[in-house]
Chains A and B, each alone.
Chain A
Amino acid sequence: MVAHDTVTVEKRPALSTAQAPRRRPRGAWTPWLYLAPALAVLAALLGYPIYQLGLISLFRYTQAQVSGGEPTVFRGFGNYADVFADDRFWQVLLATVVFAAACVLSTLAVGCALAVLLTRVRAVPRLALMLAALGAWATPAVTGSTVWLFLFDPDFGPVNRVLGLGDHSWTYGRYSAFFLVLLEVVWCSFPFVMVTVYAGIRAVPSEVLEAAALDGASQWRIWRSVLAPMLRPILVVVTIQSVIWDFKVFTQIYVMTNGGGIAGQNLVLNVYAYQEAFASSQYGLGAAIGVVMLLILLTVTLGYLRLLRRQGEDI
C-alpha cells in the first residue's frame, strides 16, 4: 500500500500542470465547432442505430415486414418475453459468459507472465518475442481463424501429427471447438496485454524494485506486493478492454465453427443475435438479443467508470 501511495503522490503534480485550464477569452462556441463533425457522425451512425435497435426490438419484424408485405406490429416487450422463455437463450448466455471469462483469464495470465518475462531477458530474445507478438496482434481475425483451423485440421494439420491424434476433429465436440477458438482468441489478444503491461512495468522506478529485492523479497512477492498494486490502473484497463472484446467475439466463432457449430452448440450471444436476424429473418428477436447484450456491456463499463472514479483518476 505504501508503494501505491507514492505513485499517487508523484502523479498529482504532473497531472495538474499538464491540465492547467486555459482561460484565454475565446468564443464559447469554438470547441463545439471542432466537435461538430465527430458528434454529427456519432449521432447518425451510432446514436440513431442504437435508437433503431431499441425500436425494432419492440416490433414483430420479419421478412414479411421488411419487404412491406405485412404491416409492422407493435409487440411491446413480446420479443423479450420470447427470448427469455427460450431455453436456448439461457444456454447461449451461459456459454458466452463462461467462454468470455475463460478467454479473459487466459489472455491476462499469458500477457502478464510474458510482460514480466520481457523485463528479465536480454535484448535479442526480447526483440524476438516482441516481433512475434506484434505479428499475432496484426493478423486479421479472419485469417487468424483460417490459419488456426489449418493447424488443427484432422487430415493435413501438423498439430494432430505431432500429438499423434490421428484424424481427431477438433471442431466436432462442443468443448474442443470452444477450446480451439479460445486458443486463437488468446493468441491474437495477449499481445495488447503484454505490450501495455510491459510499458507499465518499465515506468516503475527501478529503485523501488531494488529496495524490495534488497529487503529479501522473492520474485513472486515483488510482483504481488509491489508491482501489482502499482500497475493496478493499467491492469484495470486491460481487464475491462479484454472483457469487452471477448464478450463480443464474433468472427472467430463464426468462421472457426462455421456459424455457431453443429446444431448451434458453439453459439455465443453475438452470433446468436446475428443468426436470428439474418439467417432466420427474425429481426425483432435479434434486435432484442442485441439490446440485452448492449445492457450487459453498459453495466460492465459503468462499473469500470465507478472504479476509475474511486481511484481518484481524473478524466
Chain B
Amino acid sequence: MNLPRPLTGGVVRRPWRTAADACALLVAAVVAFPLYWMVLGAFKPAGEIESSEPRPWTLSPSLDSFRRVFGQQEFGRYFLNSLAVAVTVVIVSAVIAFLAATAVTRFRFRFRTTLLIMFLVAQMVPVEALTIPLFFVMRDAGQLNTLGALILPHIAFSLPFAIWMLRGFVKGVPEALEEAAYLDGASRTRFMWQILFPLVLPGLVATSVFSFISAWNDFLFAKSFIISDTSQSTLPMALLVFYKPDDPDWGGVMAGSTVMTIPVLVFFVLVQRRLVSGLGGAVKD
C-alpha cells in the first residue's frame, strides 16, 4: 500500500501525534474485530463456540465446521455457481462498459449529455423493487432456476456505475496517442482493442470489483429466482441453510461466511490502490 506522508505532518505536535496513532490502531482493531471473530468462530471446536464464556482465542483449532459445511451441503457446487455468475458478470459488463465509456468520452454527438444523465439516474434505481417484474420477465424467458436469471440482471445493474467510473480512465489516455495510431495506419477497431483496451485495463479491473461484489453478494435474486432447483443455488442462500433463527449452527455459519468472504477480500486487496485513485477520478469528474 503506497500511502504518501501525512499532509499536516509539520503542524501536529508530538504528543497529539502519538494519541492519534493509538486512536487509529484502536479503531482498526474494533473494525477488524468482527472479521477476526468470524474466522475464529470457523476454527473453534463445537464445544467452544457454543459456550456461554466465549474466549477471544482457541487452543485447539479444528476444521470440523469446514468439513460440515463442505460435506453436508453441496457447498462446493454453490461456490462454483457463485463464481460462474460473478466471473461472467464481470467479463461481460467490463467489455460492454468499455465500449460505452469510449463512446461517451471520445465522441461528441447529439444526446450525449442526456445519455450521461440517464446512466447516472439508472444507478439509483432500487434493484429490489424490480424483483417483481424481473421475476415475470425471467419466467416468460424460461430462465427461472437457471444461473442466467442471476447473470442477466446483474450485468444490467452494474453497467451504469461501471460506465460512469470508466470514463475517467478512458479520458486519461492522451488523444495524441490516438492520432499517432491513425497516422501509423491503424484502424479504429485495432486502436480500440490493441492500444486503448490494454491502457484502460487497470481501471477496468478496479471497476470490476463493484460488479464482482454485487454479483457475488447477491442474495435477493438468488432467493427469488432460484425457487426450486437447489443445484443452481449460490453461496448466500447456502449460508442461510445453516442459519436457522431458532437454532443456528454458528460454527457452520462462520465457516461458510469465511469461505464466502475470502475471495472478495483477495480481489479487494489486489486492486485497492487502483480503486482509491479510480474513486477519486469518478468523484472529481
Chain B residues in the interface with A (C-beta under 8 A): 1, 3-4, 6-8, 10-12, 16-17, 20-25, 27-29, 31-35, 37-38, 41, 49-54, 56, 95-97, 99-100, 102-104, 106-109, 112-113, 115-117, 120-137, 152-153, 155-157, 159-160, 163, 171, 175, 188, 213, 216-217, 219-220, 224, 236, 239-240, 243, 245, 248, 250, 253-254, 256-257, 260-261, 264-265, 267-269, 272, 275-277, 279-280, 283-284
16 A-B contacts (beta carbon < 8 Å) = A38-B99, A52-B133, A53-B130, A121-B23, A125-B28, A132-B28, A138-B267, A146-B243, A146-B257, A150-B250, A151-B37, A156-B49, A202-B7, A204-B7, A213-B8, A273-B128
Q: In the docked arrangement, what's the CA distance between A275 and B102, Å?
A: 41
Q: Which residues of A sit under 8 angstroms from B34, Cβ to Cβ?
A: 136, 139, 144, 147-148, 151, 187
New A-B pairs, 9, CB < 8 Å, besides A50-B125, A209-B7: A119-B7, A129-B27, A141-B217, A142-B217, A187-B34, A196-B283, A203-B280, A248-B128, A301-B120
> When A and B form their complex, what is the total count of cross-chain residue pairs whose Cβ atoms lie within 8 Å?
333
- A227 vs chain B, min Cβ distance (A): 10
Contact call B1/A277, Cβ cutoff below 8 A: no
Contact call B100/A287, Cβ cutoff below 8 A: no
Q: Which residues of A sit under 8 angstroms from B131, Cβ to Cβ?
A: 274, 277-278
Q: Nearest chain-B residue to A55 (Cβ)?
A: B133
Q: In the docked arrangement, what's the CA distance between A120 and B17, Å?
A: 7
Q: Which residues of A sit under 8 angstroms from B50, Cβ to Cβ?
A: 155-156
Whether a CB of chain B sits under 8 angstroms from the CB of A76 is: no
- Given A139-B35, A158-B56, A315-B116, answer yes or no on A45-B155 (Cβ-Cβ < 8 Å): yes
Chain A residues in the interface with B (C-beta under 8 A): 18-23, 26, 28, 30-32, 34-35, 37-39, 41-42, 44-46, 48-53, 56, 114, 117-144, 146-151, 153, 155-158, 161, 187, 192, 195-196, 199-204, 206, 209-210, 213, 233-234, 237-238, 244, 247-248, 250-251, 254-255, 258, 270, 273-274, 277-278, 283, 286-287, 289-291, 293-294, 297-298, 300-302, 305, 315
Q: In the docked arrangement, what's the CA distance between A138 and B239, Å?
A: 17
Q: Which residues of A sit under 8 angstroms from B240, Cβ to Cβ?
A: 142, 255
Contact call A187/B124, Cβ cutoff below 8 A: no
Q: In the docked arrangement, what's the CA distance between A279 and B264, Å?
A: 31
Q: Nearest chain-B residue to A48 (Cβ)?
A: B137
Instruction: Select the residue from B23, B123, B124 with max chain A CB neighbours within 10 A.
Output: B124
Contact call A161/B24, Cβ cutoff below 8 A: no
Q: Nearest chain-B residue to A127 (Cβ)?
A: B1
Which of B24, B95, B127, B254 contacts A128 (CB under 8 A)?
B24
Q: In the docked arrangement, what's the CA distance between A201 and B8, Å?
A: 11
Q: Which residues of B sit under 8 angstroms from A283, Cβ to Cβ?
A: 132
Contact call A156/B126, Cβ cutoff below 8 A: no
- A65 vs chain B, min Cβ distance (A): 11
Instruction: Select the residue from B56, B156, B264 with max chain A CB neighbours within 10 A.
Output: B156
- Given A119-B8, A132-B32, answer yes or no on A138-B265 (Cβ-Cβ < 8 Å): yes
Which 5 pairs, one residue from A and one from B, show the smallest C-beta to C-beta distance?
A290-B129, A45-B156, A52-B133, A143-B257, A125-B24
Contact call B153/A142, Cβ cutoff below 8 A: no
Interface SS majority for chain A = helix
Q: In the docked arrangement, what's the CA distance between A221 and B38, Å?
A: 41
Contact call B24/A117, Cβ cutoff below 8 A: yes
Which of B102, B117, B160 contacts A34 (CB under 8 A)?
B102
Contact call B31/A122, Cβ cutoff below 8 A: no
Contact call A122/B17, Cβ cutoff below 8 A: yes
Which of B260, B265, B267, B280 contacts A200 (CB under 8 A)?
B280
Contact call B20/A121, Cβ cutoff below 8 A: yes
Q: Nearest chain-B residue to A135 (Cβ)?
A: B35
Q: Which residues of A sit under 8 angstroms from B254, Cβ to Cβ?
A: 146-147, 150
Q: In the docked arrangement, what's the CA distance between A135 and B272, Å?
A: 11
Contact call A31/B104, Cβ cutoff below 8 A: yes
